[in-house]
């Protein structure tokens, strides 16, 4: 990683920076779940704290990228659920703020978070993720890393005025 960026673990104190990061992505209307909706610290607090507790319980990992006090990138993997049926499946997610894309950070972060998940979340056997059929950069990145597409939910995503498919991908660990 470039020296201007720091890689850190999230803590409870980072709620405001995390919400700010999500709101910037939402305002940009990029390939994330929110498209213009603005989140508040109050609405996000419970999920944020429970995710940090899942990290402490070794059921999740997260890496964040910072420029000074601004959160500029985030990658995380968490168990699909806590039950024996699915706890060996790790769900992956990644996003960077616009100005930090296309510089190699996405690929580095994905590799790092997958290695961290394998090291820290016991018993993972499969990674899974969801993307959008028009997110060519992400699909290429995931395929380069070894992910394969296993299915599409047709028109499940409303993206900038039209419907696109939700693409489901997996990788055996
Ligand atoms: C998807 C995302 C995480 C990828 O991270 P990134 O840092 O931009 O990607 P990288 O710079 O690591 O590049 C990964 C590959 O994509 C290629 N790539 C990156 N930006 C590109 C662009 N604008 N045009 C064409 N190719 C591009 C790179 O050349 C690289 O391929 P290579 O390894 O063969 O050289 C990032 O673009 C992002 O956060 N996008 C918005 C949110 C999002 O889509 N999240 C994923 C949701 S499923």
Chain centroid offset of residue 120 CA: 17
Count other Cβ atoms within 10 Å, centred on residue 38.
11
Mutate-to-test residue for ligand 1 from 65, 106, 142, highest number of ligand atoms within 8 A of CB: 106
Instruction: State residue 4's pLDDT score.
Output: 55
Q: Are 127 and 173 in contact (CB under 8 A)?
A: yes
pLDDT profile of the chain (173 residues), mean per 10: 65 94 98 98 96 96 92 96 96 98 96 97 98 98 98 98 98 98
Å from CA of 52 to ligand 1 middle: 27
Instruction: State residue 9's pLDDT score.
Output: 75
Instruction: State residue 8's pLDDT score.
Output: 73
Whole-prediction pTM: 0.96
Kindly list the protein residues whose Cβ atom lies closer than 6 A to any atom of ligand 1: 30-32, 94-96, 101-107, 131, 135, 137-138, 140-141, 144
Domain ranges within the chain, ordered by starting residue = 5-172
Which residue's structure tokens are 């910072």? 66
Instruction: State residue 3's pLDDT score.
Output: 47
- Joined tokens for residue 162: 């039209």
Q: Which CATH class is domain 5-172?
A: alpha beta
Q: Give 120-123 contacts, CB < 8 A, sequence gap 24+.
A: 120/58, 120/61, 121/58, 121/59, 121/60, 121/61, 121/77, 121/79, 121/90, 122/58, 123/87, 123/88
């Amino acid at each position: 990683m470039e020296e201007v960026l720091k890689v850190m673990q999230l803590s409870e104190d980072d709620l405001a920076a995390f919400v700010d990061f999500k709101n910037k992505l939402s305002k940009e209307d990029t390939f994330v779940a929110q498209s213009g909706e603005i989140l508040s610290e109050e609405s996000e607090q419970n999920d944020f704290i429970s995710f940090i507790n899942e990290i402490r319980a070794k059921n999740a990992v997260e890496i964040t990228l910072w420029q000074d006090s601004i959160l500029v990138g985030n990658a995380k993997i968490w168990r699909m659920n806590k039950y024996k049926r699915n706890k060996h499946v790790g769900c992956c997610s990644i996003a960077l703020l616009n100005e930090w894309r296309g510089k190699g950070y996405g690929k580095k972060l994905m590799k790092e978070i997958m290695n961290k998940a394998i090291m820290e979340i016991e018993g993972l056997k499969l990674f899974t993720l969801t993307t959008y059929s028009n997110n060519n950069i992400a699909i290429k990145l995931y395929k380069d890393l070894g992910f394969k597409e296993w299915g599409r939910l047709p028109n499940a995503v409303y993206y900038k005025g039209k419907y696109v498919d939700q693409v489901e991908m997996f990788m055996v660990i």
